[in-house]
């Protein structure tokens, strides 16, 4: 490593930190100093007025709104420039051609639903969204129930939860190694080793469609099951002990207990988990990019959006895919809002 | 999997002593089975990571010709892979040390900015009365659902050509080169993080006791003063929770970095480099295994040491909805 190469980076990091201190510190200082200055001036006016016997200046209304403005200024500004305006712009671009000069109406959307490879992408995304939330939430729930009050609960939960800290890129490399294939000699991938030791033929797992999409989905489930487990485990522990006790005195079987006590009690948490996982899965990008780069029929919407907009320079088609992604998220969110409202009323 | 269900009925051991010996035995068996099964699953869950870790410590020839499980019968370990991937001189070796610094340079400001801005905004939305407050909160809340894909193309264009509206330049072009591009990444991460950050911190700040604020107001404290001296110390756990979230998110992010930092050694973080290596040098397992672990070490340390805050934030962010 050449240290001279790293210096400008560290310098830039320092500029960033200085900017942070200046902006945030300056804002707070400004908010502290300016009102204090106004207060002093008013005091001086009052003193002057009482000394000269002139009528006291009328007290002005407290200006709460001004404070709010400065507290909110950075957030509102950044959200407008960085999110709201670009989102509107993307929507507009999705109706334009690749150079963003001419309107093409619904052309990009027609392309999306008629081009065979893109239809394949949409189907892949659908498979992802159907499988990941379902399997990850079920597994998380099963594990939460299983591990509840078992010995070593904390350790066992940590191990399942650990993949949450690993980047999708790192996780993809971990699993690519599990799926690794060698034509001759010993296998180095765990999966092929298992297949061989069971008497099967080793395979190039990631090249075989549609199996490869399922194998990528396994990676996502491996990462997200921990999230589902932690949230659901907390929900299970929040079930009032006397309800569980009463049910047990009534002699319910464990099976009934699960379906009639546990499930209804944790339903809100379960919905939150499924909704969160669905949205995360819709946007999945890193796994597909790292493991297969979208080749061999594994691409998903977010991946195709990146390819169209940033590799092929098709900003119209890329934007249309982004808008479609947004449209897919909306019903999921509406479902959650309706559920929340029902809970509040019920 | 029916083995899962009995544990529900087992319950806490103190309150519920089975009346018969058979019942007691069955109960112990059930909880034993549950413990055993849960440990087996936890171990299975860890095997892929463990295999990669063992491999990263094996010599190149060994990794490429034999499975990592043979390392138990034929142990040969070395730190050569890490040495190579971090500090190797040849361009094919990875040179990850520089990318590691890039990751740090990207992550630290990308955590601090949204944290500070969101705390300020959340305070104003919770405790300062002004017209349109509820609507503004709902608007920021709603922005959480906009996928960041919706912003990527125009935002990149803003940076390169600036923003003009009706001939008036609202924001000049940034025209950044090399390591200055970090600023773009900070900006993008800050924007994308704000809706969730405001939401999470608002959840905490709005639940602080109103009497406390009222008393401070009566004593003549201004809002900035209350924010600094009363609110900030009280919401430290929430700040920690969001800080960890954002740290893990930014450190592990690939998409935003790919677009706003580019793929060059001056600015690209570890994730970008690793993804590229996985694509172009997919069979160089001695580098990929060690490289993956270099990228995992920092988030794993943060995560393990601050797990408590992370879980608390997760529950507050997701369950309260």
- Residues B28-69 have pLDDT tens digits of 656 778 788 888 899 999 999 999 998 888 888 888 888 888
Interchain proximity A159–B45, CB inside 8 Å: yes
B278 shares a domain with B129: yes
Summarised one tens digit per residue, pLDDT across range B190-224 is: 999 999 999 989 988 988 888 888 888 888 888 88
B126 shares a domain with B275: yes
CA–CA min distance A220, chain B (Å): 13
Instruction: Quote the CA–CA distance of B264 and A275 in Å, as a whole number.
Output: 37
Chain A CB within 8 Å of residue B286 CB: no
Interchain proximity B120–A231, CB inside 8 Å: no
What is the token pair recorded at A131? 């499988």
Interchain proximity A178–B51, CB inside 8 Å: yes
What is the token pair recorded at B58? 């094996």
What is the token pair recorded at B280? 């172009």
Question: Phi and psi of A240, rounded to 5°?
Answer: -55, 135
**What 3-state class would DSSP assign to A265?**
helix
Determine contact, residues B109/A16, Cβ cutoff 8 Å.
yes
Which single residue is written with the structure tokens 């395979």?
A203
B102 shares a domain with B67: no
B314 shares a domain with B178: yes
B170 shares a domain with B291: yes
What is the token pair recorded at B305? 């040491």
Name chain A contacts of B116, Cβ cutoff 8 Å. 20, 24
Nearest CB to B120: which of A5, A74, A159?
A: A74
Q: In terms of residue numbers, what domain contains B57?
A: 2-85
Instruction: Quote the CA–CA distance of A16 and A33 in Å, as a whole number.
Output: 25
Chain A CB within 8 Å of residue B230 CB: no
pLDDT-based confidence at A60, cuts 50/70/90?
low
Summarised one tens digit per residue, pLDDT across range A301-317 is: 999 999 999 999 888 99
Nearest CB to B254: which of A169, A262, A276?
A: A169
Interchain proximity B120–A64, CB inside 8 Å: no
- Average per-residue pLDDT for chain B: 82
What is the token pair recorded at A116? 């065979």
Summarised one tens digit per residue, pLDDT across range A86-112 is: 999 999 999 998 887 888 888 899 998
B295 shares a domain with B171: yes
Determine contact, residues A160/A229, Cβ cutoff 8 Å.
yes
B294 shares a domain with B268: yes
Question: Phi and psi of B169, rounded to 5°?
Answer: -80, 115
Chain A CB within 8 Å of residue B194 CB: yes
Query: Of B42, B69, B85, which residue sits at a domain end?
Result: B85
pTM (predicted TM-score): 0.86
Interchain proximity B67–A186, CB inside 8 Å: yes
Name chain A contacts of B39, Cβ cutoff 8 Å. 152, 156
What is the chain B residue with the closest CA to A339? B321
B157 shares a domain with B172: yes
Interchain proximity B149–A254, CB inside 8 Å: no
Which single residue is written with the structure tokens 């006397």?
A242
Name chain A contacts of B257, Cβ cutoff 8 Å. none
**What domains can be seen in chain A, in order of their start residue?**
3-107 (no CATH), 111-345 (1.10.3720.10)
3-state helix, strand, coil in chain A (%, to 5): 75, 0, 20
Summarised one tens digit per residue, pLDDT across range B219-271 is: 888 888 888 888 998 888 889 888 988 999 999 999 999 999 887 888 899 99
Query: Of B32, B58, B85, which residue sits at a domain end?
Result: B85
B156 shares a domain with B128: yes
CA–CA min distance B39, chain A (Å): 6
Predicted local confidence at residue B262, as pLDDT: 81
CA–CA min distance A325, chain B (Å): 7
Strand partners, B168: B165
DSSP A177-233: HHT---SSSS--SHHHHHHHHTT-----GGGSTTHHHHHHHHHHHHHHHHHHHHHHH
Mutate which: A12, A176, A318, vs B, most B CBs within 10 A: A12
Interchain proximity A177–B289, CB inside 8 Å: yes
How many domains are contained in chain B?
2
Interchain proximity A84–B86, CB inside 8 Å: no
ipTM above 0.85, yes or no: yes
List b or e across B135-166, with b for residues whose CB sees 16 or more CB atoms inside 10 angstroms: ebbeebeebeebbbbbbbbbbbbbbeeebeee
User: Mean of the pLDDT values across residues B165-185?
Assistant: 78
Interchain proximity B86–A1, CB inside 8 Å: yes
Query: Of B85, B106, B124, which residue sits at a domain end?
Result: B85
Which single residue is written with the structure tokens 């569980």?
A244
What is the token pair recorded at B121? 């905004």
């Amino acid at each position: 490593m050449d240290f001279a190469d790293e210096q400008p980076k560290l310098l830039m990091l320092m500029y960033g930190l200085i900017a942070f201190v200046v902006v945030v510190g300056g804002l707070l200082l400004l908010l502290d100093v300016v009102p204090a200055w106004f207060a002093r001036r008013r005091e001086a006016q009052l003193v002057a007025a009482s000394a000269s016997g002139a009528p006291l200046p009328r007290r002005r209304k407290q200006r709460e709104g001004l404070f709010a403005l400065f507290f909110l200024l950075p957030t509102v500004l950044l959200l407008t420039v960085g999110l709201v305006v670009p989102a509107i712009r993307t929507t507009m671009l999705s109706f334009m051609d690749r150079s963003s000069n001419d309107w093409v109406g619904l052309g990009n959307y027609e392309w999306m639903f008629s081009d065979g490879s893109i239809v394949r992408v949409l189907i892949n995304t659908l498979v992802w969204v159907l499988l990941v939330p379902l399997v990850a939430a079920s597994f998380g729930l099963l594990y939460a129930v299983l591990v509840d009050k078992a010995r070593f609960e904390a350790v066992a939960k940590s191990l399942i939860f650990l993949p949450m800290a690993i980047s999708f890129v790192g996780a993809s490399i971990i699993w690519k190694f599990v799926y690794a294939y060698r034509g001759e000699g010993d296998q180095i991938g765990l999966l092929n080793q298992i297949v061989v030791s069971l008497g099967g033929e080793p395979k190039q797992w990631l090249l075989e469609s549609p199996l490869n999409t399922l194998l990528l989905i396994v990676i996502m489930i491996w990462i997200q099951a921990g999230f589902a487990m932690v949230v659901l485990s907390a929900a299970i522990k929040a079930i009032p002990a006397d309800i569980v006790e009463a049910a047990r005195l009534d002699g319910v079987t464990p099976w009934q207990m699960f379906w009639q006590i546990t499930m209804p009690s944790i339903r809100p948490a379960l919905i939150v988990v499924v909704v969160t996982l669905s949205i995360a899965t819709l946007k999945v990008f890193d796994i597909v990019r790292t493991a297969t780069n979208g080749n061999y029929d594994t691409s998903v919407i977010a991946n195709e959006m990146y390819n169209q907009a940033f590799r092929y320079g098709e900003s119209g088609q890329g934007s249309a895919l982004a808008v479609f992604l947004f449209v897919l998220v909306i019903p999921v969110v509406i479902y959650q809002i309706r559920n929340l409202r029902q809970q509040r009323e019920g | 999997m029916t083995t899962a269900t009995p544990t529900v009925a087992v319950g806490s051991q103190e309150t519920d002593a089975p009346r018969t010996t058979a019942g007691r035995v069955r109960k112990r068996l059930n909880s034993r089975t549950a413990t055993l099964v849960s440990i087996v699953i936890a171990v299975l869950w860890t095997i892929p990571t463990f295999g990669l870790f063992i491999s990263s410590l094996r010599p190149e020839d060994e990794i490429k010709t034999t499975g990592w499980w043979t390392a138990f019968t034929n142990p040969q370990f070395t730190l050569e892979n890490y040495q190579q991937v971090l500090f190797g001189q040849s361009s094919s070796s990875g040179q990850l040390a520089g990318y590691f610094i890039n990751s740090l340079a990207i992550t630290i400001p990308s955590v601090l900015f949204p944290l500070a801005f969101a705390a300020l905004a959340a305070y104003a939305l919770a405790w300062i009365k002004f017209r349109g407050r509820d609507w503004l909160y709902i608007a920021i809340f709603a922005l959480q659902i906009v996928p960041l894909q919706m912003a990527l193309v125009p935002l990149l264009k803003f940076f390169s050509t600036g923003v003009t509206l009706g001939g008036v330049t609202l924001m000049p072009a940034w025209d950044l080169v090399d390591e200055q591009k970090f600023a773009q990444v900070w900006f993008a991460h800050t924007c994308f993080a704000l809706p969730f950050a405001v939401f999470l911190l608002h959840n905490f700040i709005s639940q602080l006791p109103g009497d406390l604020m009222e008393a401070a107001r009566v004593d003549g404290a201004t809002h900035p003063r209350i924010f600094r001296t009363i609110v900030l110390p009280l919401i430290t756990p929430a700040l920690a929770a969001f800080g960890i979230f954002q740290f893990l998110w930014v450190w592990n992010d690939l998409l935003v970095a790919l677009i706003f930092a580019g793929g060059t050694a001056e600015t690209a973080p570890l994730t970008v480099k690793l993804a590229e290596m996985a694509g172009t040098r997919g069979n160089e397992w001695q580098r990929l295994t060690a490289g993956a672990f270099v990228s995992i070490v920092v988030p794993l340390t943060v995560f393990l040491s601050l797990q408590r805050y992370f879980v608390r934030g997760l529950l507050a962010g997701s369950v309260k909805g």
